[in-house]
Structure 1
Amino acid sequence: MRVPMFQVDAFTNRRFAGNPAAVMLLDDFLEDAALQAIAAENNLAETAFLVPYGDDYRLRWFTPTVEVPLCGHATLASAAVVMERLSPQRRRVVFHSTSGALTVDRRSDVYVMNFPARPTEPVEPPPGLTEALGARPVEAVTDHFNYLVLLETAGQVRRLAPDMAAINRLDRTGVIVTAPGDDGYDFVSRYFAPAKGIPEDPVTGGAHCALTPYWAERLGKTDFRAFQASRRGGEIGCRLLGERVELAGGCVFYHKGQAEV
């Protein structure tokens, strides 16, 4: 069968930046093995699968190797598909996922997602972390999915060239690295997740579900302008709302077509 497919650059206002995601529209979810094979074929950080659910949609996300419980940039891309291509009059969409109901609003030239916050707790840096990163952490915390590591400067974050094989051996699925911001940003970050088939994710909404409450505690405020300093790079507006976070960003369409599956 033929499946409508879009490729969207998320968390950016210019093409070839941000994080590319595939968004595919289905009448119902295919078997898990088929969805995983499609995501592997697309070979992007995430492929989002959308299924109509009344006025809302059900949503699942797959990397090239695994299904994940939450993905920010592919949710942002899915919202852009719904509100720019499927129903241009809409200003809000609700996605039903394994992480609950996720609401996305269209505000001017950005999309604003409402996600569950991920509180962190201090941990001792695990053996091998410093060597894997090639930098000594100021501190380490965990959100139970990832390690979150603080470095002294944004320059250190930008210059990191980690040992991906060593990161893959850690007992978390990913490592978020962050530091106080430069160039007008409150903080910068990068995200490494070779265990999920994504050596470095260009711009990561899920990581900012942990980064937002983390920096709120450190800086004593709740609104942030953040930058993920991957090669492509991307900007995220972050706001802490109690046990939820708002993540805002732009989207740029790259491709529309059909896939034979």
Structure 2
Amino acid sequence: MKVGKVVGSAAEAVAEVGDGASLAVGGFGLCGVPSVLIDALYEKGARGLRVVSNNCGVDGRGLGLLLAAGRIARATGSYIGENKELARRYLSGEIEVELVPQGTLAERLRAGGSGIPAFYTPAGVGTLVAEGGLPWRYAADGSVAVASPAKEVREFGGVPYVLEESITTDFALVRAAKGDRYGNLVFDKSARNFNPLAAMAGRVTIAEVEQLCELDPDEVHLPGVFVQRVVALTPEQAADKHVEKRTVRA
């Protein structure tokens, strides 16, 4: 029997996200970021969050909002980029950061959602990714307080591969262009970045959708089996999209 998964508000959807929870969050830069759910989580006041996302938003936007408030204790991602606040907190020892090759991060999330505990990949062989020693957390004096461990490396067909463990999280926050009351989701163009993968990895996945509607099964990108809660955005919320870098002709 099909069950409706639509909840009344973003605040209601994230009500169970407590201090110390782990979160997989979709988006890339500011594209496809579940900003309404992040704002609701900010208002809730949850602290000590352990976030897995390609990047930690930008200064003042997306996950950057939680970061600036000191709510994120650990970030796993592939890109610090131009997030000056993340760089500052990382180098001063205020936050633990695990940097992962981007393709490896995507596969770790997908594997977690598929019930695969670990996999071998050539990415990172011969580097600190495999050998260990990447600074995860700095001490106040600038020394390395926590470093990444060494990982198992095996050869297949004469080629070395490093063993990477999959990722699952307590919750996942994602944004979709369309969704139905059963949690089936459709993503728009490049917003189909880390969103499906993050949704798969979460034990409780919450999706904000720009349009709540009936879907043709053939257009579904992510089946509702991975989604537990759906929040329908207002037209104003759906249209509130920011550009990370606006480029215009001279």
* TM bucket, shorter chain: under 0.3
| TM-score after normalising by structure 2 | 0.22
Hey, which of these two has a bigger chunk of strand by percent?
1
| TM-score after normalising by structure 1 | 0.21
